[in-house]
């Protein structure tokens, strides 16, 4: 594990070498460091054929031993080569397990280095303000604390091997209009709600920040002096480099350079005018020297990092990484309903009595691992959900029949003839993802397609033991039909081993452990304003579970919710410790302890969550806000103590502890 930037890397020797190299550079060499090295026409043709098939190089200067920034995208894994496709970031967020995410980061770092990259631009931590956002699948949910914890964990895993770029800075959470939408945000809301997770990852040591396409309060993020220079570089002390989002990330070379952008990616377009602008004085030479120093510093920091013996072709999509993908997929699946049928919960499947399983739905047989935009990974193979259940059937002695659901009546007949039915519905790249000509973009509805809702209802009427499995990257509105199915499981976009992971969960080899990283609204719930092709929008302080509390509305499934096969018995939470002195930011350290008991016969998993009533941004009243969590494994028939460390603002009178944000599940713990 690497140390945070403020404890490592900042040594006099490094800074002396950075100054020496920059002082020796000509103006043209300094400008060369400030953009991608490829040719615009040729590069775009190559990316149209396959995006980022090889590292995208920027700022290579062999004369000084600088290999350049060698970029690979993410976050599902390395987009180059035939790499391991991990579950989508949203699925990994559902694990509430930063330790697991750090292991994923380590695997990504190894594969990226083996494929020739030295920078991973896959730490995507844009907050999901509205679940219709098409690229919600690429991030970690609606809560800043969870986003920060998971982004920090991924950064820790990747940094021993690659430079880390965090994106998209900032307030990027609309896809179809991302190139032009002007996002209006009050400064208090910006700093309290929309930026803290970015600061957490920057403080962890990310060497690069990618700016967003959208404008913020009237200025494009890629040329936003207040955001990039005053906040990021001056207030936060960031000494890495800022790169633009690709191709259309800026509109003015002078505004971008003076605003704090250090590198235009992936080619020199607007920054081709920088030489003239420097000569005329429109862009100070000192600004160019600073940008060059930041890019040089990042490249020098990578020297000495790494484990060369691991960076072999055999490391890419190796058995160990595939097993990790399977583990992450299984642990991120969220069990939302598990009602009794004939006196026993429908899951896990009782393999002693079940002889036939009907699998229904077109998505079951598709390699459905996420959108086809810049985050697309190209694994050597994908185990579909149908593949995984068929393999489990062969291994454990039950027959699997399949119907794609095109004819709902025929599918219902197949389901009715089996002992249990698994109906797979949800989204694909055609419904959500990066907004491209071929497909994707923001969702038009939070509901399933009408045909999918009809299919679920027909199968459920024909087969009492029906488990609905949802695939997708964000919330669904399910309250028209979810009460009809005894079993409901969210599988997300589960990566290349998703089929095996689903079979592991359904047959009980793996306990359901996922918790929702974003709220699933009910019909009629208020949501923040969202128009797919908006020219201008205001982002306020209310969204997600905080909006549910402020409006007094009940969601279908709350943030942090998820069931297990072995229900955990909670002991009364108690205050374990309060720090004597507030921290540098005025906050006070607090620890909360709870005891969890698993029933005999089955190990259990729980996520203990601690919320603090807090006034944030422009909303005048305190609202419950996640400030700490801990994942606990509880062996069967035992009791384990769990402590959650968190910080609270001065003057806080209480914290609330429970298994989700549901107010009925939370217990108040006074702080005095």
Sign of CA dihedral 376, 377, 380, 384: negative
DSSP 118: S
Which residue, 202, 283, 212, 263, is CA-closest to 235?
A: 202
Residue 377 is encoded by which pair of tokens? 């990974």
In 135-230 the beta strands, taken as DSSP E runs, fall at 163-169, 182-185, 208-211, 215-216, 219-220
In contact, 448 and 425? CB cutoff 8 Å: yes
Report the 10 Å Cβ neighbour count for 367.
Answer: 15
**Residue 239 is among the residues annotated as catalytic for this protein:** no
The pair phi, psi for residue 152, each rounded to 5°, is: -60, -40
Give the SS3 label for residue 425: strand
Catalytic residue among 97, 189, 245, 504: 245
Distance between terminal CA atoms of the chain? Answer: 37
**What is the spatial distance between Cα 374 and Cα 157, in angstroms, rounded to a whole number?**
21
Report the 10 Å Cβ neighbour count for 410.
Answer: 14
**What is the spatial distance between Cα 567 and Cα 614, in angstroms, rounded to a whole number?**
30
The pair phi, psi for residue 578, each rounded to 5°, is: -125, 130
**What is the spatial distance between Cα 210 and Cα 124, in angstroms, rounded to a whole number?**
10
In contact, 303 and 65? CB cutoff 8 Å: no
Q: What is the CA radius of gyration of the chain?
A: 25
**What is the spatial distance between Cα 420 and Cα 439, in angstroms, rounded to a whole number?**
34
Q: Where are the alpha helices (DSSP H) in 303-368?
A: 319-332
Residue partners of 276: CB distance under 8 A and separation at least 6:
none
In 306-413 the beta strands, taken as DSSP E runs, fall at 334-338, 340-341, 344-345, 356-360, 399-403
Residue partners of 592: CB distance under 8 A and separation at least 6:
573, 574, 575, 576, 610, 628, 643, 644, 646, 655, 657, 669
Sign of CA dihedral 557, 559, 563, 569: negative
Active site members: 245
């Amino acid at each position: 594990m690497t140390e945070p930037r403020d404890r490592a890397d900042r040594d006099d020797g490094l800074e002396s070498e950075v100054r020496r190299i920059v002082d020796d550079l000509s103006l043209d060499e300094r400008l060369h460091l400030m953009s991608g090295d490829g040719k615009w026409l040729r590069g775009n043709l190559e990316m149209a054929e396959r995006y980022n098939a090889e590292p995208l190089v920027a700022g290579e200067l062999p004369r000084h031993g600088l290999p350049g920034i060698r970029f690979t995208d993410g976050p599902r894994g390395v987009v180059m080569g035939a790499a391991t496709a991990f579950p989508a970031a949203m699925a990994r967020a559902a694990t509430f397990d930063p330790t697991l995410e750090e292991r994923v980061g380590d695997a990504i770092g190894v594969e990226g280095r083996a494929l020739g990259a030295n920078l991973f631009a896959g730490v995507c931590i844009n907050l999901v303000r509205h679940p219709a956002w098409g690229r919600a699948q690429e991030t970690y949910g609606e809560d800043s604390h969870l986003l920060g914890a998971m982004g920090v964990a991924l950064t820790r895993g990747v940094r021993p091997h690659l430079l880390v770029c965090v994106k998209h800075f900032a307030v990027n959470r609309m896809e179809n209009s991302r190139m032009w939408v002007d996002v209006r945000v009050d400064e208090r809301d910006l700093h309290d709600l929309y930026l803290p997770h970015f600061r957490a990852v920057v403080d962890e040591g990310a060497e690069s920040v990618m700016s967003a396409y959208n404008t913020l309060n009237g200025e494009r993020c890629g040329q936003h002096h207040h955001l990039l220079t005053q906040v990021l570089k001056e207030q936060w002390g960031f000494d890495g480099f800022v790169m633009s989002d690709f191709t259309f990330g800026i509109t003015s070379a002078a505004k971008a350079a003076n605003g704090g952008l250090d590198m235009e990616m992936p080619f020199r377009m607007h920054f081709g005018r920088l030489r003239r602008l420097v000569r005329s004085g429109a862009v100070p030479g000192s600004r160019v020297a600073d940008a060059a120093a930041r890019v040089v510093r990042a490249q020098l920091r990578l020297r000495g990092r790494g484990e060369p013996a691991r960076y072999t072709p055999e490391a890419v999509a190796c058995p160990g990484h595939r097993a990790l993908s399977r583990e992450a997929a299984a642990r991120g699946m969220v069990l939302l309903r598990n009602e009794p049928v004939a006196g026993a919960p429908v899951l896990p499947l009782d393999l002693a009595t079940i002889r036939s399983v009907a699998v229904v739905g077109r998505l079951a047989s598709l390699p459905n691992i996420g959108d086809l935009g810049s985050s697309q990974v190209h694994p050597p193979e994908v185990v579909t959900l149908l593949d995984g259940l068929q393999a489990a059937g062969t291994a454990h002695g039950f027959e699997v029949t399949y119907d794609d659901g095109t004819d709902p009546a025929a599918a219902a007949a197949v389901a009715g003839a089996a002992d249990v039915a698994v109906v797979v519905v949800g989204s694909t790249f055609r419904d959500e993802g990066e907004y491209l000509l071929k497909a994707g973009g923001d969702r038009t509805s939070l509901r399933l397609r009408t045909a999918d809702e009809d299919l679920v209802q027909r199968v459920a009427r024909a087969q009492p033991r029906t488990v609905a499995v949802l695939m997708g990257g964000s919330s669904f509105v399910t309250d028209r039909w979810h009460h009809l199915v005894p079993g409901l499981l969210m599988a997300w976009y589960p990566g290349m081993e998703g089929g095996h992971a689903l079979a592991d969960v359904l047959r009980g080899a793996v306990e359901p452990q996922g918790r929702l990283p974003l709220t699933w609204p009910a019909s009629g719930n208020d949501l923040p304003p969202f128009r797919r092709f908006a020219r201008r929008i205001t982002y306020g302080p209310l969204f997600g579970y905080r909006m549910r509390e402020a409006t007094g509305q009940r969601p279908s499934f709350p943030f942090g919710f998820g069931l297990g096969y072995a229900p955990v018995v909670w002991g009364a939470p108690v205050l374990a410790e309060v720090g004597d002195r507030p921290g540098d930011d005025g906050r006070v350290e607090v620890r909360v302890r709870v005891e969890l008991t698993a029933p005999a016969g089955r190990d259990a998993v729980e996520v203990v969550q601690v919320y603090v009533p807090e006034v944030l941004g422009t909303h005048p009243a305190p609202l419950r806000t996640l400030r700490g969590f801990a994942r606990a494994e509880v062996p069967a028939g035992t009791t384990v103590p769990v402590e959650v460390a968190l910080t609270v603002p001065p003057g806080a009178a209480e914290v609330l502890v429970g298994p989700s944000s549901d107010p009925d599940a939370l217990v108040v713990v006074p702080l005095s």
